[in-house]
Chains A and B, each alone.
Chain A
Amino acid sequence: MSHFEFVVDDSTFQVTASLENDSILVAVGENSYRFKTIGENLFQANAHDRTYVVAAIKRHGVFYVDVDTVTLEVREASDFQNSYQTSGHAAVKDKVFAPMPGKIVKVLVTVGDLVAEKQPLAVVEAMKMENQINSPAAGKVKAVHFSVGQQVNTITPIIELELDQK
Chain B
Amino acid sequence: MTTLFKKILIANRSEIAVRVIHGCRTLGIATVAVYSDADVRSKHRLLADESVPIGAAPPLESYLNFDKIIGAAKSTGCDGLHPGYGFLAENAAFAERCRQEKIKFIGPSPASMRLMGDKVASRLAAAKAGVPIVPGMEATSDDVKALGKFAKEIGYPVLIKASAGGGGKGMRIVNSEKELPDAFEGARREAMKAFADDRIYLEKLLVNPRHIEFQILADEHGHCIHLFERECSIQRRHQKIIEETPSIALNPDLRHRMGTDAIKVAQAAAYTNAGTVEFLLDEKGKYYFLEMNTRLQVEHPITEMVTGVDLVVEQIQIAAGLKLGDNLTNLSQQGHAIECRIYAEDGDNNFLPSTGQVFFYREPSGPGIRVDSGVTNGSEVTIDYDPIMAKLIVHAPDRTSAIAKMIDALNNYKILGVKTPRHSLVNILNHPEFLKGKTFTNFIQKNLSNRSNNTQSTKEIAAAAASALALTISQSRKNDAARGKRSAPSPWETLGDWSIGRNFK
In chain A, what residue has the closest Cβ to B427? A69
Contact A57 B460, beta carbon cutoff 8 Å:
no
Q: Supply 13 A–B pairs (Cβ within 8 Å), ascending by A.
A: A2-B470, A4-B466, A6-B467, A8-B462, A13-B463, A17-B471, A26-B464, A33-B468, A42-B414, A43-B469, A72-B462, A74-B463, A74-B466
Q: Is A58 an interface residue (CB 8 A)?
A: yes
Q: Which of B401-455 contact A (CB under 8 A)?
A: 410-417, 419, 422-423, 425-426, 453-454
Interface string of A1-27 (1 = CB under 8 A from B): 010101011010101111100001010
Which of the segments A60-68, A128-136, A138-146 contacts the partner chain? A60-68
| Complex Cα gap A120–B467 (Å) | 34
Contact A56 B466, beta carbon cutoff 8 Å:
yes
Tell me the minimal C-beta distance from A25 to chain B in angstroms.
Answer: 9
Q: How many chain A residues touch the partner (CB < 8 A)?
A: 46
Q: Is A83 an interface residue (CB 8 A)?
A: no
Q: Is A55 an interface residue (CB 8 A)?
A: yes
Q: SS class of chain A's interface: helix, strand, loop or mixed?
A: strand
Tell me the minimal C-beta distance from A32 to chain B in angstroms.
Answer: 9
Tell me the minimal C-beta distance from B465 to chain A in angstroms.
Answer: 4
| Complex Cα gap A146–B425 (Å) | 45
Given contacts A15-B463, A35-B464, A74-B462, contact A41 B422 (CB under 8 A): no
Provide the residues of chain A in CB contact with B502, threshold 8 Å: none
A residues sitting closer than 8 Å to B (CB atoms) are 2, 4, 6, 8-9, 11, 13, 15-19, 24, 26, 28-29, 31, 33, 35, 37, 39, 41-43, 45, 47-48, 52-59, 63-72, 74
Q: Is B473 an interface residue (CB 8 A)?
A: yes
Provide the residues of chain B in CB contact with A70, threshold 8 Å: 423, 454, 458
Contact B454 A9, beta carbon cutoff 8 Å:
yes
Provide the residues of chain B in CB contact with A59, threshold 8 Å: 359
Contact B461 A67, beta carbon cutoff 8 Å:
yes
Given contacts A39-B362, A66-B360, A68-B411, contact A56 B469 (CB under 8 A): yes
Most buried by B among A19, A55, A58, A59: A55
Contact B458 A68, beta carbon cutoff 8 Å:
yes
Tell me the minimal C-beta distance from A158 to chain B in angstroms.
Answer: 22
Tell me the minimal C-beta distance from A125 to chain B in angstroms.
Answer: 23
